[in-house]
Structure 1
Amino acid sequence: MSDMRSGDAGPTAPHPSAHAEPEAIQAIKLRHPGRTVFAVVLILLAGLFLYDTAFNRPVYNWGIVGQYLFDTRILTGAWYTLQLTVYSMIIAIVLGIAVAVMRLSPNPVVAAVAWVYLWLFRGTPVYVQLVFWGMIPTIYKTIDLGIPFTEALVSISTKDLLNYFTLAVIGLALNEAAYMAEIVRAGLLAVDKGQDEAAIALGLGWWHTMSRVILPQAMRVIIPPTGNEVISMLKTTSLVAAVPFTLDLYGRSRDISAVTYQPVPMLIVASIWYLTVTSILMVGQYYLERHYAKGIGDRPDVQKPTVETAAVTVVGERHPTYPSTAGETIVPPHERPGGGGA
């Protein structure tokens, strides 16, 4: 056999550590004709519905919609709706946190009171509760302050103290607080128990532990459902006619429709304003969720080696040896994977 020389035209054996550059993968996108057909059908149905709504249904009366969309009474009703939503949610969140803490209390009496509150307000419809709150001035004509079983020192008329707007806020807030309590309780239970123990070990009191350790971590769980409850509260304000309070957005649109005999256009006007405010609240909810979800699910980038693993060697590497009973030195096999001599 003739030896291979550098000048010969024969192939040269590649170096074991060399790697061929992989070819780019040519991915072929899967086709889904069923999805395409379904999407086209949906677009056609939506187009037909919009065309029918715009041209074939005079009952919508879009001229009336444009006329009353920015009417002063409608704008005033939207402002009252916002006030009902904000005031009710503030009270509900504060009361919900208190009820949630009571629900988790080791004191059985405190926990039982919280459970009864949740059972009562979650077990009855909000409309029924609002009707009841509207009848409070009839049930309790006066509010008497003084020593029990003696003559009242101060007597205040309930109608003078609580107007229908205040009663609507109280009714909405007490009902919502029951749901907020369960949301807050779920958020508190989602925080690892070790966080509480670590805070106690650092010498923090209950208030600082709750406000600086537990609640900030629980907000990641509390914020999403709370945002949903705010949006739901905005729409629930349309039920305050049961109090009765009729200056909200739906109440004003209903009053106008009773005069113009155009109920459908006024319902569209109210729906446009509800959708507008709801869209703004959804944007705010998105940014709040993103703020409190910082660092959740993030993973550090995997550090890639700067050289091939096969090229890394240990400086001063020596294989261990073992003396035998005959006085010889035994060198264990090390030249191939899994053991065994060369």
Structure 2
Amino acid sequence: MSQIKDGVELLESTPVPRPGRWVSAIVVALIAAMLAKALITNPNFQWGVVWEWLFSRTIISGVGYTLLLTVIAMAIGTLLAITMAIMRQSINPILRWVATAYIWFFRGTPIYTQLIFWSLLPSLYPTLSFGIPFGPAFASIDTNAWFTPFVMAWVGLSLNEGAYLAEIMRAGLLSVDKGQWEAATALGMPRTTIFRRIILPQAMRVIVPPIGNETISMLKTTSLVAAIPFTLELTFVAQTKGQSLFAPIPLLLAAALWYLAITSLLMWVQSHIERHFGKGFERRESTPGPSSTPSTNTTFLDVTP
């Protein structure tokens, strides 16, 4: 159908029917409803037991140790990652090869295998000595006294996570234009100030999303510390308590609900951090006006204190 107005023929457009969208939406909704019904109405899940133990002292204690391991592993892993990323780009070949060997080893072996070896450390090295190689030792420690299961758990997780985060850090640093270093160096700024005030803030836009994913992954990876064995982690205490009560499924469901709650909180925090570090880039990536089109060869450098 068309209309004529002021001598101009106006066409009336009608939306193109898309029955496939409605059919697919209905099918997905039916499948989701069936899954929800099967999950809620199945008495074998024992939802009453789940709510009874969800906030019990046993489960809450496991949540606390899981969070503690996650925070320590990510904090130490991030420091290791920054150090190794800088060493990978060093002009010193020794520093560069040490960082490469560290990343190669810890990324090339499974975390479960690494944790098992950490549990065997007191057997492999009853005493650790510090001194000149093949020479006198200045100090020594008893590994059985110092390397408790908790210490071995966060040490193993931190070393493994540092290797993965190092590549993330390096990719973020390489995403910053090389001209930033050159321009700041020409202004006489020291390298530490250049890195802290110019390079790192710009690299955070690339670094934050994968670090958030690694944090969520680390939260779940802590369940592997049972290989050491560290017996206070959430999954282990839920499984052990469930077996003693002859109700393993409800206790594991309680642990899963806690994992989902913490993961949801971490995703929310990650989204806000990403939005914070992406403010300036969002403005720069927006379509500029005719009078504000920047040159493609222009190097942007903000050295405002």
Per the TM superposition, whether the score is higher than 0.5 is yes
Aligned residue number for residue 36 of structure 2: 50
Matching of residue 40 in structure 1 with residue 26 in structure 2: yes
Equivalent of 1:235, from 209, 212, 220? 220
Aligned-pair Cα RMSD in Å: 2.1
Q: CA deviation at 1:238?
A: 0.6
- TM-score w.r.t. the length of structure 1 is 0.78
Aligned residue number for residue 160 of structure 1: 145
Aligned residue number for residue 262 of structure 1: 247
Specify the SS of the correspondent of 2:16: coil
CA distance in 1, matches of 2:10, 2:49: 62
Aligned residue number for residue 86 of structure 1: 71
Matching of residue 31 in structure 1 with residue 17 in structure 2: yes
CA distance in 1, matches of 2:74, 2:108: 20
| Counterpart residue type for residue 49 of structure 1 | L
CA distance in 2, matches of 1:121, 1:99: 12
Q: CA deviation at 1:59?
A: 2.0
Aligned residue number for residue 271 of structure 2: 286
| Counterpart residue type for residue 173 of structure 1 | S
Aligned residue number for residue 129 of structure 2: 144
Specify the SS of the correspondent of 2:30: helix
User: Identity percentage over the alignment?
Assistant: 48
Matching of residue 61 in structure 1 with residue 77 in structure 2: no
Q: CA deviation at 1:67?
A: 1.1
Q: CA deviation at 1:35?
A: 1.4
Superposition map of 1:1-342 within 5 A: 28-55=14-41, 57-146=42-131, 152=137, 154-298=139-283, 299=286, 302=289
Aligned residue number for residue 308 of structure 1: none
Specify the SS of the correspondent of 1:296: helix
Q: CA deviation at 1:152?
A: 4.9
Specify the SS of the correspondent of 1:295: helix
Specify the SS of the correspondent of 2:73: helix
Higher relative CO (Cα under 8 Å, sequence separation at least 6) belongs to: 2
CA distance in 2, matches of 1:264, 1:66: 13
Q: Deviations over 1:70-106 (max 9, x none)?
A: 1101001000000000000000001001001111112
| Counterpart residue type for residue 29 of structure 2 | I
- TM-score w.r.t. the length of structure 2 is 0.87
CA distance in 2, matches of 1:275, 1:251: 17
CA distance in 2, matches of 1:265, 1:200: 61
| Counterpart residue type for residue 247 of structure 1 | L
Q: CA deviation at 1:54?
A: 2.0
Unaligned runs of 5+ in 2: 1-5, 292-305
Q: Deviations over 1:131-170 (max 9, x none)?
A: 1111111111122345655665544321211211111001
Unaligned runs of 5+ in 1: 1-19, 305-342
CA distance in 2, matches of 1:70, 1:23: 70
| Counterpart residue type for residue 24 of structure 2 | F
| Misfit runs of 4+, over 2 Å | 22-31, 143-156, 297-304
Residues 202/37 of structure 1: CA separation in 2 closer, same or farther (3 Å cut): same
CA distance in 2, matches of 1:267, 1:31: 47
Residues 301/208 of structure 1: CA separation in 2 closer, same or farther (3 Å cut): closer
CA distance in 2, matches of 1:187, 1:147: 37
